[in-house]
A and B are shown apart, each in its own frame.
Chain A
Amino acid sequence: ETGVTQSPTHLIKTRGQQVTLRCSSQSGHNTVSWYQQALGQGPQFIFQYYREEENGRGNFPPRFSGLQFPNYSSELNVNALELDDSALYLCASSLSGVNTQYFGPGTRLTVL
């Protein structure tokens, strides 16, 4: 059984640029949730995708958007990057929206 994978591992961007992060869910899981973890903090919920539809959103602006594909993999897109967007971005998959979430290793984004 393959766990949750994320790519890339690290990324450096400059202010104003756009970024796309990718996540492959654990085998058999149809729900993907994205979290932002700033240094020294707990993860903060960005949004969740279930069967290719957004299924709940946290307190993040519209420049944070996502997609889920028919194979349940997912993308997180962030437009107009700001310095405060520097963080570890975590993807978690689950069997459904309310089941236990299993996390990937994360993508470390640095915005200069």
Chain B
Amino acid sequence: GQQLNQSPQSMFIQEGEDVSMNCTSSSIFNTWLWYKQDPGEGPVLLIALYKAGELTSNGRLTAQFGITRKDSFLNISASIPSDVGIYFCAGQHNTGKLIFGQGTTLQVKP
């Protein structure tokens, strides 16, 4: 099935470091979303972006909807051990269908 290009695939960082991950697509989306998934759980919504160029923060998380509507990034500042998990980007068509990236696995060393 169709997937977005999400990078990096995995990251292993020291506690306190900043993290950046991004997603690109060949298609235009109306909405970009970022989810976090813990093992055996469903994805939990972190940030939703609705307009090209939009920059939105949620605590230590910041995400942007690219101007071309074909990309998005997520930054996490001052990482902590509970940030560990798999982060997924998702683009939403006007049909409501979500297309997901392959995920970025984040590990944080205390």
Interface residues of A (CB under 8 A from B): 4, 6, 31, 33, 35, 40-45, 48, 50, 55-56, 58-59, 90, 92, 94, 96-106, 108
Contact = CB atoms under 8 A, between A and B. Distances in A.
A43 B92 contact: no
A35 B98 contact: yes
Given A42-B103, A59-B1, A100-B33, A33 B98 contact: yes
B74 to A, nearest CB: 15
A49 B103 CA distance: 26
Contact of B40 (A96, A100, A101, A108): A108
A101 B94 contact: no
Contact of A90 (B42, B101, B103): B42
B96 A97 contact: yes
B58 interface: no
A100 B31 CA distance: 9
A25 B106 CA distance: 30
Contacts of A42: 3-4, 6, 88, 90, 100-103
13 contacts: A33-B97, A41-B3, A42-B101, A43-B100, A45-B99, A98-B94, A98-B96, A101-B98, A103-B43, A103-B45, A104-B42, A105-B42, A106-B42
Contact of B95 (A35, A40, A56, A100): A56
A40 B10 CA distance: 12
